Amino acid sequence: MRRYGSCLLLVLVGAAVLRISLFSELYLRYVQAGLRPYLVVSGAVLVLLGSAMAVVRRTTHDEDDDHEDHDAHDDHDDHGHHHGPAGPRVAWLLTLPALALLLFPPPALGSYSAGREAAQQAAQGVGSFPALPAGNPVELTLGQFSSRAIYDSGRSLTGRTVRMTGFVTHGDDGTWYLTRLLVTCCAADATTSKVEVRGAADGAPPVDTWVTVTGVWHPKGKLGTDGAWPPVVDASAVRQVKQPADPYEKR
């Protein structure tokens, strides 16, 4: 264990990274999609490095024993950095995220994170937007819908039926929102975008349910002001769906 500890640790971290990036799409709960190739490469490199170093340690068994004694003496002078052949002790902290990912991958952020963060609007001025893509209903992300609803001087949403997917959060006095978190790099930088849903036949679904809402934009407030936020959709259909593979929206 002492001899192979650090090799084992490398393999463990590599396996955890591969489990979430290569063998499943769980990595989307933590980081954005573009990071996948880098995660796969890093995982593979770590597993290979750990195995290679284990083989090297095995074949150079005796030689290493001499070095270890030598190192042990050196360490007394070098206060900044003492650790023996088992590798740096602080490295064992890596088992924490690695085992968590291997055994119980933490869930995607949901209503809790959305609720405690004052939802922010993207900083941009009022202006015209490119035409909406064809399609009836047209599929939009919550981010696209919000920015068009709040900032589009051309009012391109008028008269279009839109379809959006997100999870449910509740406001005060019975309002409910279709909510999605936006992630740029990793879940630590998540910001919220939400759209108030009105006119759903069955009332508000339970918090954290994933739903697809079809409806039309309900204009409110003056463009580019706080009064226009959060935007409102008049729902014609609310359908319960499974949580999408990528729980976040790309900014």
Interface segment toward other proteins; rule CB under 8 A; list 139-147, 186-194, 214-222, 237-245: 186-194
Q: Residue 243, interface with other proteins (CB under 8 A)?
A: no
Q: Residue 142, interface with other proteins (CB under 8 A)?
A: no
Q: At what angle do helices 95-103 and 5-21 cross, to 10 degrees?
A: 40
Q: Within 10 Å of residue 222's Cβ, how many Cβ atoms? A: 10
Q: Residue 7, interface with other proteins (CB under 8 A)?
A: yes
Q: At what angle do helices 61-77 and 36-59 cross, to 10 degrees?
A: 100
Among residues 62, 66, 69, 78, the one that binds other proteins under rule CB under 8 A = 78
The DSSP bridge partners found for residue 139 are 163
Q: Residue 87, interface with other proteins (CB under 8 A)?
A: yes
Q: Residue 49, interface with other proteins (CB under 8 A)?
A: yes
CB 191 within 8 A of CB 181: yes
Q: Residue 223, interface with other proteins (CB under 8 A)?
A: no
Q: Quickly list H helices, 60-193.
A: 61-77, 95-103, 111-115, 142-151
> Beta strands 210-218 and 232-240: pairing type?
antiparallel
Q: Which residues make up the interface to other proteins (CB under 8 A)?
A: 6-7, 9-10, 13, 17, 20, 27, 29-31, 35, 38-39, 41-42, 45-46, 49-50, 52-53, 56, 74, 78-81, 87-94, 96-97, 100-101, 105-113, 116-118, 120-124, 184-189, 191, 251
